[in-house]
Structures are given as structure tokens and as C-alpha cells.
Structure 1
């Protein structure tokens, strides 16, 4: 009897080894551009890997090669409190220039009219200054640095995340307008659709590769990269995004 009991204890390491050998190997690294997020369909303690949303710059690089993009521009603007305007993104295309501002609002319903100075957000008691009116100053600042290309078609775009709800004047939700309020995931599609619309309206207005490159170089030269100037601008512009 004693020998039988001892044989049972000796078999346990072998059992453990077989379980370990059959278990799938664990990944040493988490794939790039993923984040851990709770799964709504599982228990509170379960976690799943979900891909991060691409940044606006990453989205814009999906545009065809004839488009050129600039990001985080700081250009002089005498009408601004700081003497500068900071523009999130500029896309130079064969039919016009798209001046883009990104808003990172993550909750609430946005309501407002195209000509109303103040808009409301359901999740906040504080009213939002009409972002299109505010963005006009950025568009004008870009236009002032275009040299011989000042007559190029300018399209103002303000994007919001799809975690909020846009309930604004329908006129600024369609590509017919040169002032647009859209969700960030609609950005590339809207630029392409607007380009097609402009092509059908004014087919003779086409900017060739050398024109697009010239505009790109003008705006690149106008961009201030001085860290002190940028810091002073941020300090003076607090609360005015």
C-alpha cells in the first residue's frame, strides 16, 4: 500500500510538465498601435486588445500622392492676440487648399447654426464659440502667405471625434459648402469628394505639381519653428482654441 501511495506523488511532476508543454506560448510583445480596453461583452475583469484610432496626420497620408500636407503650422497673423495663428493641418490639392482644425471633444451633442456666434454642447454648461467663425482667422492667415496664389480656393474644415454627436446647420455638413463641420473619420473621403465637386464646377482651375510644390514651400517657409515664439503664442492664446 505504501508503494502505491508513493507512486501517486511521483506522477504529479510528469502531469504538470505535460500541461505546460501543451499550453500555447505567450507573446513577448504587444503589437504596435494597440491599447488594452475592456470588452463590453465580457466580464468586468476581462481585457481585449483593440487598435488605436489613427491620428489625423496618419489619415491624411492616405490621400493620393498629388496632395501635399503640412501639420502644426504657426504663421504670423496681425489680427490675432498673440500675433500668430496656429493651424492643425493644411492640405494642398489640385483644386484648392483645405485648412483643417481638429477638436477633441469626446462627449455630448453639438448644436449650432452657421451664423450663430455661440454653439452649445449638451455635456457642458459652457457655450462653445462657433468654431467656423473662429477658424476663419486661420484660413485668412494661411491665405495671407500665399503670394501669387491668393486666389486659390480655400476650404475650411473643423473635425470632431465620433464620440460626440454633430447636430448643426445641415448646410455645413455637405461638400457644397466651403465651410465644413465633419467627423474626423470622414476627413479623407470629404476632401476627395470636395475635390470632385470643384472639378465639376470649375474644370479649368487645376493646380499642377509645380504649383502645389510652390504653395507647399511658401507655407513651410512661413511656419515658425522657434520654441520660444511657440511657447509665447500658447501662453497668450490660452482658452482660445
Structure 2
């Protein structure tokens, strides 16, 4: 076979030149094949893997409210009825129709069951019963109200949020915006605040807090917020086991 090809080159030199020219125009290296990698879940040992986007925090979600709303995060205010002498409030939203006092629960699994007037609720993933979070949160709401000065008549709405990784199976009365005590999923928070504001506008259309009122309430609560690290540390120590 090789002899036949060699004889062909000798007998037809012009063909040989064409073949040589065509070969020299080809890429010097062949393309590198793409390696297919099967995706898998990231574990703690996979430090080099791309980090997945994190879910927005509650504070970040509240930042998306319209401009007329004022937000305070991580408040520590004096409360004579509390074991530590203070109440820790996760978030307060001051709007044109009322104040929303918000507590976030980071439960990530299980089904939450309980009634509005039941002292203890159950979580399917735990043998330990949960004290009714609405009853517990009432102390926080009262602590906020005690510091409102001339605005004590403002409507206060209590909201407790849970992550959407658990299941809420509680009294339906606290799942609808007609209630002033609400249990919701964390991703429902902004929508719930806006819908509740619309509801309050329908119920009491004459009650509308202007920009200066909202700012005044914000200033009142900001002024009583304790930022002293020692006081906060002492509160956390005395409040262990309770929210």
C-alpha cells in the first residue's frame, strides 16, 4: 500500500503539492474535548465550589418596603415586666396606618401546630413543646407601646414569622390579615405588611399618620434602644431559654 502511494507521488507531483498545502493549513492542535461533570450538592468539605446565593435576611426584605415606611432592627428596650428588665425585639416597622412588631423564628423543620389561645404548641420534629409565640410576643408589643409617648393609641400589629422550611398548621384566625396577631412565613412578610395596611385603611380611613408622625415615632423608639454591649450581654444571659 505504501509503495502505491509513493509511486503516485512520483508520477503526479502536482497532486502531492496540493495535499501538502492542505495539510499545512490545518490547525496545529486538535480542539480539547469538553469534560462533562455531574453536578452534586455542596458539602462543608467543598470549599472550592461556587457558593449558592443566600436567602435575603428579614432586614433586607423590609428594605424593599415603600419609602413612607420606617424600619428599626434589633431593638433592646426597657421592660419592667421582663426577667432581664429589657425586651429584645427583632424588627419594628412604622407605617402610615400602624406599627408592626416582628419576631423571627428560625425553625427549619417540622410541622407547627397550635391554637390562638393554647399556651403550648407542638413541633412534629421535636418532643419539646413550644410556648405559644404570639403570647410570648405580646410582651414585646407591650414594651414598644410603653415607649410611644403621645402615640400610644397607634394601632400595633404583632407578627411572628417562620421559615418556609417548616410547615405552619395553626389556628386559621392568625393566618389572615384581619387579625392583629399574625403567624406567617418569612417570605410573606412584606406582602402581609402592605395588605394589612390596606385593611387598616378600609377599617379606619380617618387614621393616617403623616411623614412627620412616622419620623417622630421612629425617633422615640430609636432613642430608647439600648446599644450598650454590656447591657445587651447581660440581657442575653438572663433571658436564656426565652426569646
TM-score, normalisation: structure 1: 0.82
- Which of 88, 99, 114 aligns to 1:112? It is 114
Match of 2:29 in 1: 15
Distance 2:50 2:184 in 1: 30
Q: Distance in 1 between matches of 2:29 and 2:140?
A: 70
Task: Classify the secondary structure of the residue corresponding to 1:15.
Answer: coil
| Cα distance, 1:231–1:206 mapped onto 2, change above 3 Å | same
Contact 1:37 1:50 in 2 (8 A): no
Distance in 1, matches of 2:121 and 2:40, equals 32
Residue from 183, 202, 205 that aligns with 1:203: 205
Instruction: After the TM superposition, list the runs of 4 or more consecutive aligned residues in structure 1 that deviate by more than 2 angstroms.
Output: 47-51
Matching of residues 14-53 of structure 1 within 5 Å: 15=29, 18-19=31-32, 38=41, 50-53=52-55
1:137 aligns with 2:139: yes
Root mean square deviation of aligned Cα: 2.1
TM-score computed with the length of structure 2 as normaliser:
0.82
Partner of 1:33: none
1:5-36 deviation digits (Å, cap 9, x = unpaired): xxxxxxxxx537x53xx97xxxxxxxxxxxx9
Answering whether residue 98 of structure 2 is matched by residue 100 of structure 1, we say no
2:238 to 211, 236, 239: 236
- SS state at 1:63 partner: coil
User: Is contact 1:175–1:190 with CA below 8 Å preserved after alignment?
Assistant: yes
Instruction: Please state if 1:192 is matched with 2:194.
Output: yes
SS in 1 for 2:29: helix
Q: Deviations for 1:148-189, whole angstroms, at most 9, x for unmatched residues?
A: 000000000000000000000000000000000000000000
Which structure dedicates a bigger proportion of its chain to strand?
A: 1
Offset, 1:90: 0.1
Deviation string, structure 1 residues 89-113 (Cα, Å, up to 9, x no partner):
0000000000000000000000000
Matches within 5 A, 1:160-239: 160-239=162-241
1:72 is paired with a residue of what secondary structure? Answer: strand
Alpha-carbon contact 1:37-1:48 (below 8 Å) kept: no
Kindly indicate whether the alpha-carbon contact (under 8 Å) linking 1:38 and 1:48 is maintained by their aligned counterparts in 2.
no
Separation (CA, whole Å) in 1 of partners of 2:219 and 2:173: 33
Instruction: Give unpaired runs (5+ residues) of structure 2.
Output: 1-27, 43-48
- Once residues 181 and 38 of structure 1 are traced to their aligned partners in structure 2, the CA distance between those partners, rounded to angstroms, is 32
Secondary structure at the counterpart of residue 200 of structure 1? helix
